[in-house]
Amino acid sequence: MSRLRFVHTADVHLGRSGRAFGTAAPEHRQRLMQAFERCLACCRDYEAQLLIIAGDLFDSPRPPERTAQRVRSLLGDLASQSQVVATILIPGTHDPIAPGSICERWLAEGLPDGVHLLSVEQPTLNIPELEVTVHFATDPGKLQPDPQANMNLGLLHGSVQIPGLVDEDEAIITEEQIAGCGMDYLALGHWHSFGDYSQQDVVALYPGSPEIVGLDQAEQGQVLVVDLDDEGQASWERVTTGTLQSRQQDLDLADFANLEELIQSILKLADADAILDTRLVGMAPEQMVVDHDRILERVEEQFFRIRLTDESYADWEEIGPEPSGLVAGRFRELMKERFKAAETDEHRQVIQQARSLGLALLAGKEVLG
Ligand SMILES: [Mn+2]
């Protein structure tokens, strides 16, 4: 019985402009590259014979030249520094083979020994040392196993069809196509989180990105180390390659006497590797001005990235009857009317902030700066 060990990654998105990461975008690009390097280290550490990159290695068809050069030389070094016999690349949705693209250039120039970019023109590659044939297809229905090969691996970049969840117009891979593709293993790319879509005796996995690519990803970046034998038995390990961690924290404003206490409690969560999603909930103390810019200014450097969502509210009924003769009382009444007339949450929040600000001003507090 022969056995193959390979590393499967996809969706590395090197060179990403990462606008969602704001000022952390350049550091995010570095983290993506570091995760890719950890993926290569994983090939060495686990003595993998094959490295598979199932599309979107780059974030765009024309990544920064320095990024492309670095990848090329890292992949070239891999063969001499590890047991990896072949590295297999396919184009993805972000890095298609298009005029002027890096993929087109690499096809024209040729790649280092042992590095292969599959294309529609050259969709299959037999690797005699491993008795493996690898296949690329844009249409999963067109995958055809090589009967001479001991093992067949398919590489696809697209979405598995999940009724109600996946748009019809995305590249769709159906369960029937997976079940009937004749491959021993389908190396999927496109989705940024791990997913197991195996059907019958076909193992079909998304490894997810080796590092968190977007703010909505909950899992840490990882790659797959897969063992496959020639009887079609597969086992795999998910190896962490990413350093970023996504976290969520609800903060109930009723727990804080003032803005400073709220800021201090966010600072207690400080973590340079965290993408923190903070949700402000509950009832704000009457005179707390929830000034988002001021909070972010104080805390944002302590995190890789922090997001603030404000879902807090004012419990108007708890305030009770107000003396109508006083300016503050009249102000409260006016704001209450407006709050009740407001039609959107956004509007209600603006009113609530205006109310807190107004009350603080009327109480003679310093609220600006
Ligand atoms: Mn992708």
**And the tokens for 198?**
């195996």
Closest CA to 78 of 110, 117, 49: 49
Q: Ligand 1 mean position to 12 CA, how many Å?
A: 7
How far does Cα 151 stand from its chain's mean position?
Answer: 31
Tell me the CA–centroid distance for residue 39 and ligand 1, in Å.
16
Q: Reduce the DSSP state of residue 118 to 3 states and report it.
A: coil
Q: How far apart are the first and last CA of the chain?
A: 73
How many angstroms does the Cα of residue 13 sit away from the middle of ligand 1?
7
Q: From ligand 1's centre to the CA of 276, what distance in Å?
A: 22
pTM of the model: 0.84
220 contacts 212 by C-beta, under 8 angstroms:
yes
Cα 204 to averaged position of ligand 1 atoms, centre (Å): 17
> Mean pLDDT, to the nearest integer, of 181-201?
95
CA of 90 to the centre of ligand 1 (A): 12
Q: 190 C-alpha to center of ligand 1: Å?
A: 4
- Cα–ligand 1 centroid distance for 158 (angstroms): 9
Give the tens place of pLDDT for each residue, 289-302: 788 899 999 999 99
pLDDT at 101 over 90: yes
Say how many Å lie between the CA of residue 31 and the centre of ligand 1: 16
Task: Say how many Å lie between the CA of residue 93 and the centre of ligand 1.
Answer: 7
How many other CB atoms are there within 10 angstroms of residue 223's CB atom? Answer: 33
Q: How high does pLDDT run on average in the chain?
A: 90
Q: Beta strand pairing status for 234-240 and 245-252?
A: unpaired
Coil, strand or helix at 76 = helix
The predicted-structure confidence for 228-267, as pLDDT tens digits, reads as follows 998 878 999 999 999 999 999 999 998 999 999 999 999 9
Say how far apart CA 7 and CA 78 lie, in whole Å.
Answer: 13
For the chain, domains (ranges, CATH) are 3-240 (3.60.21.10), 245-362 (no CATH)
